[in-house]
Amino acid sequence: GAVVSQHPSWVICKSGTSVKIECRSLDFQATTMFWYRQFPKQSLMLMATSNEGSKATYEQGVEKDKFLINHASLTLSTLTVTSAHPEDSSFYICSARAEGGQANSPLHFGNGTRLTVT
């Protein structure tokens, strides 16, 4: 089945530093990947849609200059949290759907990255 790999699984960083999270589709191509964020005991909130070869589309309220997204190939998207602050501490999850898949093909999720900013 379709596999999405996300790295790192967890990261602790100091306030003011930047953190890069990678999302790879291992056995399929994805021109579009989605980045979600999940705070404790809350549901997944879509942050942005990552488009291969073009600019990402950000959801309302998500700062594009703070959450930099790069989708340079059909199998890799990266999310960089710049100048991280403690309120950015969250569970970040990427997802993708195989291109050419049927309408009922689900989103496949990476294992998530737990970011803690101290």
Partner 1 sequence: GQNIDQPTEMTATEGAIVQINCTYQTSGFNGLFWYQQHAGEAPTFLSYNVLDGLEEKGRFSSFLSRSKGYSYLLLKELQMKDSASYLCAVRDGTGRRALTFGSGTRLQVQP
Q: Which of left, alpha, beta for 74 (phi over 0: left; psi -120 to 50: alpha)? A: alpha
* Cα 93 to Cα 81: distance, rounded to the nearest angstrom: 13
Q: 51 pairs with which residues across the strands?
A: 32
What string marks each residue from 17 to 36 as x (binds partner 1 by CB under 8 A) or -? Answer: ---------------x-x-x
Sign of CA dihedral 109, 111, 115, 116: positive
Q: Which of 15, 42, 73, 83 binds partner 1 (CB under 8 A)?
A: 42
Binding window for partner 1 (CB under 8 A); candidates: 12-20, 67-75, 81-89, 102-110: 102-110
Least separation in angstroms between residue 110's CB and partner 1 is: 6
Binding test (CB under 8 A) with partner 1, winner from 79, 93, 115, 117: 93
Contact call for residue 56 and partner 1 (CB under 8 A): no
Answer for the pair 98, 105: CB distance below 8 angstroms, yes or no. yes
Closer CB to partner 1, residue 16 or residue 106? 106
Q: Which residue in the set 77, 88, 110, 117 belongs to the binding site for partner 1 (CB under 8 A)?
A: 110
* Local structure of residue 69 (DSSP, 8 states): E
